Amino acid sequence: MRIVAVEAWPVELELEEPYTIAYETVERVTNVFVRLVTDKGPVAYGCAAPDLEVTGETAETVLEGIAEHGEPILRGADPFRRERIHERLRPGLRPQPAAMAALDMALYDLLGKHCGLPLWQLLGGFRSRIKTSITLGILPEAETVERARQRVAQGFSCLKIKGGLDVEADAARLLHVREAVGPGVELRFDANQGYSVEDALRFVKLTRGVKLELLEQPTPKGQPALMGSVTRRAAIPIMADESLMGLRDAFRLARRGLADMVNVKLMKVGGITEALQIESVARSAGLEVMVGCMDESALAIAAGLHFALARKNVAYADLDGHVGLIGDPAANAVTLSRGVLRPSSLPGLGWNPPAAAS
């Protein structure tokens, strides 16, 4: 089998509800869809969700990267020699992890379709579904509490609340959310690099009664020692997110004891191949893994889901980036019901577009 065509096109998606985190407000996003066509029939798909702040990419740079570096290498290649393909792609796409992720997941989609099996089964098949958190952006206290009640009423049993701008206000919101939803709902907090070490430790102290499950990326990613200081002194697990951009970061975090947990996002690390390697490093160091996401079409969410379902140590999921995206062409790639994500039963990543799709 050979790849005979590599195609990519942008899809602009508007959010039903814009949201705010520590460093930006998001109203709409652009994903880039990728299609690999083969000479033997199977057609495979991938998706990039670039984010200038996190991955350093835009839709335009992803399209350029795929056209300039991806297409020349993939056209005519045997798609099942993935390691060889990756070694050739990495030099040109190293600064573009979302573009790399889209091509990587398309190659895995092709493998699953060729074998006639969902990808999660090929990768390990540890579980068939997983609970996901649902994210609440930075909102006034009363709105946060009301939104938390709404999400719990929809069946979500894990809430991830954003903050990082004001320690006292963040702590107050968490305390009131806990009062509103009761003890049976898991609460996670993401500071998105917004705290100093002192801020983070004060936040942990103020929210002791909330019984948070974890505190995600409290300090700036460019100063890893600061997060290590929080990890050593805080009474709750500290998770690295923006500080983890690839396999080398995973090794450094593990070797220096800078975090208790890691958030692996396919768009940050460059796809499923790198995510599997990071999971192995984390497991060897005793670090639990959460699979996270950006503002992603359900196709990209599906790729993260298949990775999570395959491996035991991926114990947590934050795969809600597709929720509220208007006009997502791959909306049926996953099923989300009462806070639980399930994959499609179709082979590969489980999605094929209507015949008229681009």
Q: Is 190 a catalytic residue?
A: yes
- Kindly give, in sequence order, each residue whose CB lies less than 8 Å from that of residue 265, ignoring residues fewer than 6 positions away: 241, 291, 292, 293, 294, 304
Which of these is catalytic: 265, 274, 295, 320?
Answer: 265
Containing H/E element for 258? none
Which of these is catalytic: 57, 109, 241, 318?
Answer: 241
Q: Is 241 a catalytic residue?
A: yes
Residue 137: both structure tokens together: 């952006």
Q: 304: buried, middle or exposed (CB in 10 Å: 19+, 13-18, 0-12)?
A: buried
Are 97 and 248 in contact by the 8 Å Cβ rule? The answer is: no
Helix, strand, or coil here: 49? coil
170 Rama class: left (phi>0) / alpha (psi -120 to 50) / beta = alpha
Which of these is catalytic: 51, 57, 104, 190?
Answer: 190
**Distance between CA atoms of residues 340 and 319, nearest Å:** 10
| Closest of 163, 143, 160, 148 to residue 20, by C-alpha | 163
Residue 76 neighbours by CB distance under 10 Å: 10
Q: Is 131 a catalytic residue?
A: no
> Strand 261-265 vs strand 288-292: parallel, antiparallel, or unpaired?
parallel
182 Rama class: left (phi>0) / alpha (psi -120 to 50) / beta = left
Across the strands, what pairs with 12?
30
Q: Is 216 a catalytic residue?
A: yes
Direct distance between the N- and C-terminal alpha carbons of the chain, in angstroms, rounded to an integer: 23
Which DSSP category does 331 fall into?
G
Place of tokens 């098949």: 125
**Distance between CA atoms of residues 325 and 297, nearest Å:** 7
Q: How many residues does the chain have?
A: 358
- Kindly give, in sequence order, each residue whose CB lies less than 8 Å from that of residue 168, ignoring residues fewer than 6 positions away: 206
Q: Is 113 a catalytic residue?
A: no
Q: What is the dihedral of CA 191, 29, 300, 312, to 10 degrees?
A: 10
Which of these is catalytic: 104, 216, 249, 295?
Answer: 216
Catalytic residue positions, numbered: 162, 190, 216, 241, 265
